[in-house]
Amino acid sequence: MYGLFLVLNDIYKLDELHEMFYEEEVGATTIDSQGIGKVLLDHHIDIPMLASMRKLIDGRKPYNKLIISVIKDEEKLKRVTAK
């Protein structure tokens, strides 16, 4: 049994991914998520490491999607991840 965790920044690809999971007969759960770097910046928590990344993080969309799936078969996992 395998766990697949996918962080999707381009939410416009979400429907395409859902269709692919359906075609491969793989269940999945989709959750709204946000990276910790963005959370810390939004709360004005100053961490030296994040200061250099501020420009990269500030311009990004505030949320992404976390897709979680449990796949029993290794061959099916390989097909899903190859797409």
C-alpha 42: how far from chain center: 20
Asked if 20 and 80 touch (Cβ cutoff 8 Å), the reply is yes
pTM given for the model: 0.71
Structural domain boundaries in the chain: 2-82
DSSP string, the chain: -EEEEEEES-GGGHHHHHHHHHHTT---EEEEE--HHHHHHHTT---HHHHTTHHHHHTS-S-EEEEEEEES-HHHHHHHHH-
Structure tokens at 22: 């359906």
Task: Say whether pLDDT at 50 is over 60.
Answer: no
Task: Please report which confidence band the pLDDT of residue 73 belongs to, taking 50, 70 and 90 as the band edges.
Answer: very high
The pLDDT tens digits of the residues spanning 6-31 come to: 999 888 999 999 999 999 999 999 99
